[in-house]
Chains A and B, each alone.
Chain A
Amino acid sequence: MTLAAATNENLAEISNVLIYSAMAVYTLAFFAYIAEWIFGSRSKVARTAAALTPKASAAGTAPAVTVRQGGGTAVLERPKVTVRAASGSRDVPDGPGAHGGDEQGDLYGRIAISLTVLAFALSFGGVLTRALSVERAPWGNMYEFNITFSTTAVGVYLLLLALKKNVRWLGLFLTTSVLLDLGLAVTVLYTASDQLVPALHSYWLYIHVSTAILCGAVFYVGAFTTVMYLFKDSYENKLANGGKPGSFATSFLERLPAAASLDKFAYRVNAAVFPLWTFTIIAGAIWAGDAWGRYWGWDPKETWSFITWVAYAGYLHARATAGWKGRKAAYLALIAFGCWLFNYYGVNIFVNGKHSYADVGLGVLQSAGF
């Protein structure tokens, strides 16, 4: 164990500058996304409202099959694959995205994404230099956890974009929350760079926390999509029942993917990351076994990881149970994400604040935010 390896002040400085620059660029991206929404809304996008007119919005990229969204026909080299709806699902096309099919809006959207990429690179640099300056992983305290978390969330978003997933519409909301998160980090949570205390030195910690951050970022994307699903679903229900939604709702929700698409995407995202979350808890238990002499002890942090896990398991079960799909399952997904959030912010702020380990050697753990 190296002792008091001098903190590299220079690198820490650079890190701070990078984080602030990233915030500036995120702000620009934020405005570009706003412009995308505003200019986009000028075009006429009422597809869902056009009585569920199947306007195709996306072209497929599978090797031999082209599934035309809405058209429901997959064009093969020769034979066509016809896709039928699962019975009961509504035949609604995906919205065109924030730009609403408007060229100028689309341009702003592209600018926004470029800016997001730049801001991501800057904040990634910020996280990296921070890590170098403290010579350890960048999550020894809540400040570092926050900057790493927002960087990871944006990374997940950009990765999904690169994989050609229909997530571009998320951009505005993501940059907004990232700005809030970073703002909170640099003002309230800022901690000068320093080394990790000894109890936190373990490679299980690296594994545990990095996967926890990744899971959080993906859960966040899932939860956000779920919220949008709920909005879009009510919107579609209203339309289907002959109601007339407000013009803001129309302008906004028309551009999102169809409720069914959102629902499915949210499920995919949550389900894909659930095994990793399971692994995160296990890695945490192994770490606790090394650090505290028991792998499971119902400490508040452990308890809330468990609650989060059970809640997500409940969500997955609900999806498999007839009668619980759709909105009910969506509420469960949101509750589960709420548990995740509480585990990070709530437990650190409300529960651990009063909680203190009796032993001096471990008391220091608390000051590190874990």
Chain B
Amino acid sequence: MSDTTTDNSTQTGDDQDLGAAGSQLSTAPVEDAPSPNLPALGVIGWARWFWRQLTSMRVALLLLLLLSLAAIPGSLIPQTGIDETRVADFRERHDVLAPVYDKLGLFNVYSSVWFSAIYILLFVSLIGCIVPRTWQFVGQLRGRPPGAPRRLTRLPAHTTWRTSAAPEEVREAALALLRKRRFRAHTVGDAVAAEKGYLRELGNLAFHLALIVMLIAFAWGQLFKSEGNKIVVEGDGFSNTLTQYDDFKSGNLFTNDDLEPFSFDVKEFTGTYERTGPNRGTPRTYETEVTYTEGADGEEKNAVIKVNKPLEIGDAKVYLVSHGYAPVVTVRDGKGEIVYQDAVPLLPLDNNVTSNGVVKVLDGYRNPQGKKEQLGFQAFFVPTFGGSASGTMLSQFPALDYPVLALNAYHGDLKADSGIPQSVYQMDKTKMKEFKDADGELLKKLLTPGETMTLPGGAGSITFEKDIKEWAGFQVVQEPGGGWALGGALAAIGGLAASLFVQRRRVWVRAVRGDGVTVVEMAGLGRSESAKVPEELGDLAGVLYERAPGVADPEPDGTPEPVAAPPSEDPGASDASGTTTSTDTDSQAVPAEGAEQQ
């Protein structure tokens, strides 16, 4: 690797030379080769061995790689926490695979035992790594930069000259210069020792610490999280209590008292849709006007909730997540009395809001015989009907261009009070009888707004009113710890930037009297990735040279001074030019082929 064999032979020697000077440039644990001789020391020995392994960089690396591997299946297999219907779908299609997946927790990768095990180990390793490194770093800060190694010429970057200035003068000038450049510098013996770039270590520690903060914040959020959904028709309201939700999920440590007290009323939902082009039908405006009150009896305020703009009330955020139609229907009994009049929210089935649902008349209805009965109508609704000639009942567009409601009719017992909770969108037909039309078929009809379907035998009628309401679906989320997670994330970025962009490096300036003049030697040492060290050293030397100008060198240039000359500089550093054509500079002796080290 260098031009003289003598130099090569001293190679191993000088690394020892560096000794303390080169140590502690980082608090990264020293990696010793995996030792095959396992401890024979009983439980404590094993525990210590295990701990040392766990907190080693090699294991941290392995755990990191494992974590990324372990995250993959969750992105390819449907997850219960993300989309339950797809999981159900999957179970149906793979009756052999699904139970295996279940056993392996593959439908719940991110809360599975093995996934948790990996990241918990990783974080234990992380803590086990940070704590000693922090102490070590504090020790380094309280100590002083190590003194100059015996032979500065052995350092990665080195320079020397002779000057007529006195050694003390040179050292003083060097000390002042280095301190001005914000090095921590002091004089040890005949040399000045200086160090700079502690921010790298600090940043690195801060980064790893921030990872822990983020993890805890995330875990905290998951434990105390609550998330509920509620569909509200225009004109109706919602108040934030458990009973009001259509469905509700919460973390393990959540209690009902954690719910933020507030309520809101939906004034109006506005949706407009692209009329032309390839994205015809995609929503353009999608927002809900609400009035809300904070606390039990707060002041009433107005707000608009949009898709990306949740309403924030205390810890809770109210998101607009879905939308549909709620046709208003009126049901009359045989005598023409109104027994039911309401907006019936229907569930959308596709992007053009083809919707279905059920109208349930639970009480107040008596059949022509005067007997109490319940009525049920299955409803199918399209906001834009394709026309009866189109052959499809699917909606053609999401806006209310040509609304049509298709109904059929049943009577009997809806079994609403059987104790089993019922979906408002489904009808239990086991105790229901069909109304028949003239042909003896199930009675059904397509209605446009204002039209009425009459039930046979004087059983009454159902009217599709002209007023069609819309509903908005809200998700109310409370997830504490978000602020901590964000803070941790920002700290992580800051720490990372410091850790990657700041170089920790040392500079030594030695000035000794030699035959009549003073010999100044300067050397720099940084972490291996650094290309800036020689540059900075040159810069410092240039300034110092002005204070202690050179005198004629007794030896001409190009003496046996061993110049190992690897282009360890990176082409990305300022020392290389990408567009240069080959310029001829000094060529060097050529080592024999294969004269490779290591």
Contact = CB atoms under 8 A, between A and B. Distances in A.
A291 B305 CA distance: 11
Contacts of B584: 55-56
A363 interface: yes
Interface string B299-340: 000000011111000000101111110000000000000000
Given A54-B587, A59-B583, A73-B586, A314 B65 contact: yes
A295 B482 contact: yes
A360 B323 contact: yes
A248 B160 CA distance: 45
A164 B279 contact: no
Contact of B581 (A101, A261, A367): A101
A187 to B, nearest CB: 16
B409 interface: no
A332 B522 CA distance: 38
B156 interface: yes
B557 to A, nearest CB: 8
7 contacts: A4-B272, A91-B565, A201-B307, A268-B570, A271-B500, A293-B317, A296-B218
A53 B71 CA distance: 48
Interface string A356-369: 00111111100100
A318 B561 CA distance: 35
A59 B577 CA distance: 7
A265 B571 contact: yes
Contacts of B195: none
Interface stretch (A14-22, A29-37, A76-84, A145-153): A76-84
A33 B588 CA distance: 32
Contacts of A250: none
A99 B581 contact: yes
Given A60-B575, A164-B579, A361-B286, A307 B68 contact: yes
Given A72-B566, A91-B566, A261-B570, A81 B538 contact: yes
B76 A51 contact: no
Nearest to A296: B218
Q: Which of A84, A89, A354 has most B Cβ within 10 Å? A: A84
B581 A83 contact: no
Contacts of A317: 57, 60-61, 64
A57 B567 CA distance: 10
A289 to B, nearest CB: 7
A164 B537 CA distance: 22
Given A3-B284, A84-B566, A265-B572, A314 B64 contact: yes
B592 interface: yes
B590 interface: yes
Interface string A335-370: 000010000000100010011001111111001000
Contacts of A91: 1-2, 564-567, 591
B173 interface: no
Interface stretch (B44-52, B417-425, B539-547): B539-547
Contacts of B75: 298, 300, 303-304, 307, 347, 351
Contacts of B28: 320
A198 B534 contact: no
Contacts of B351: 360, 363-364
A64 interface: yes
A42 interface: no
A195 B15 CA distance: 64
B35 interface: no
A296 B283 CA distance: 25
Contacts, number: 423
Given A324-B61, A364-B282, A198 B71 contact: no
A136 interface: no
Interface stretch (B79-87, B366-374, B385-393): B79-87
A62 interface: yes
Given A51-B591, A91-B2, A360 B158 contact: no
Given A4-B275, A56-B584, A76-B541, A69 B576 contact: yes
Contact of A81 (B67, B541, B574): B541
B147 interface: no
Interface string A168-202: 10000000000000000000000110110111011
A167 B571 contact: yes
B85 A86 contact: no
Nearest to A197: B282
Contacts of A56: 582-587
Contacts of A58: 571, 575-577, 580, 583
Nearest to A316: B500
A291 B482 CA distance: 15
A310 to B, nearest CB: 4
Interface of A: 1, 3-4, 7, 50-65, 67-74, 76-94, 96-97, 99, 101, 103, 106, 113, 160-161, 164-168, 191-192, 194-195, 197-199, 201-202, 239-242, 257-258, 260-262, 264-265, 267-269, 271-272, 274-275, 278-279, 282, 285-287, 289-300, 303-304, 306-307, 310-311, 313-314, 316-324, 332, 339, 347, 351, 354-355, 358-364, 367
Given A62-B535, A71-B588, A72-B567, 4 more contacts: A76-B542, A97-B580, A167-B578, A351-B75
B74 interface: yes
Among B277, B317, B573, the one with the most A-chain Cβ atoms within 10 Å of its Cβ is B573
A354 B11 CA distance: 61
A55 B587 contact: yes
A239 B594 CA distance: 7
A292 B350 CA distance: 20
Contacts of B275: 4
Contacts of B566: 72, 83-86, 89-92, 260
Contacts of A53: 587, 590
B541 A321 contact: no
B489 interface: yes
B74 A164 contact: no
B278 A194 contact: yes
B60 to A, nearest CB: 6
Contacts of B539: 62-65
A358 B83 contact: yes
Nearest to B353: A360
B31 interface: yes
Given A88-B597, A324-B61, A94 B583 contact: no
Given A55-B582, A278-B492, A79 B545 contact: yes
A83 B541 CA distance: 14
Nearest to B67: A310
Contact of B324 (A77, A257, A360): A360
Interface in B59-103: 60-61, 64-65, 67-68, 71-72, 74-76, 79, 81-83, 85-86
B161 interface: yes
B568 A67 contact: no
